[in-house]
Amino acid sequence: MSLTLRDHVATLDQNQRRNFVTVLWAERTEDTASKALSYPRRSIWFIGLLLLTQLRTKFEGFQVGRGAPGIDRAKFLREIRELKDDMDRVTQWINTDIAKRKEGSA
């Protein structure tokens, strides 16, 4: 017998589903809620990626703020912009992949 996270989430009642989505997305929309419930494992991985990115950014920001040796402020700011662009591309890729899967199952 095999149980997937998607199967488990599908068995949750309305309140449990709402709580699951709220834990993942503080500012949720109907679209993010739908995607989190339809693709829970992918959503958890994505949230983990966002968390790691934010932690790294904060850590390096603290280093820039205190003037740590070897930290170039301009390079840091450029990298932050690039990270944001990368995250936007990852989000777009995820959304496109989800749309393709929906089209394929229709």
Q: Which pLDDT tens digit goes with each residue over 38-87?
A: 899 988 998 898 889 889 888 888 888 888 887 788 888 888 888 888 88
Q: Measured between alpha carbons, how far is 89 from 55 in angstroms, rounded to an integer?
A: 19
Task: Enter the pTM of the model.
Answer: 0.68
Total domain count, the chain: 1
Would you say 24 and 43 are in contact if contact means Cβ atoms under 8 Å apart? yes
Would you say 43 and 35 are in contact if contact means Cβ atoms under 8 Å apart? yes
Q: Cα angle vertex 71, ends 67, 77, to 5°?
A: 100
User: What is the extent of the structural domain holding 66?
Assistant: 5-105
